[in-house]
A = this chain, B = another copy of it.
Amino acid sequence: MYSEKVMDHFSNPRNVGEIENASGVGTVGNAKCGDIMRMYLDIDDSGVIKDCKFKTFGCGAAVATSSMATELVMGKTVEEALKITNKAVMEALDGLPPAKIHCSLLAEEAIHSALWDYAEKN
């Protein structure tokens, strides 16, 4: 049912945690299942994402997509990170079952929300 990459990122999620004094923080909720996700970004003066961490109460699919998403945004510029879609994250994970696609949206929305928070502060 789940790809090896999904199981890997679910069992060993990357970049779980918080960043103190983060450049941007985004918290989003999933209307469909009631879950929440928080994403922290640390962005340097040249607009490059130096660190990214997340916390979620969401399911395994939400954990796996967020973990992969943090790896994809790391080292990217704000402009590049804005272009990362949940489709790209799912492809990097070799797909997700249709019933779990809404879970993958949490990661995309949380990153956008954190980037928005950063933009408002700068």
Contacts and interface: CB of A to CB of B under 8 A. Distances in A.
Interface of A: 1-2, 10, 32-36, 56-62, 97, 99-100
Given A34-B99, A100-B34, A58 B60 contact: yes
Task: List the number of copies, as a whole number.
Answer: 2
A62 B35 CA distance: 11
A99 B10 contact: no
Contact of A97 (B2, B34, B59): B34
A10 B57 contact: yes
Contacts of A62: 59
Nearest to A57: B60
Given A97-B34, A99-B34, A100-B34, A58 B59 contact: yes
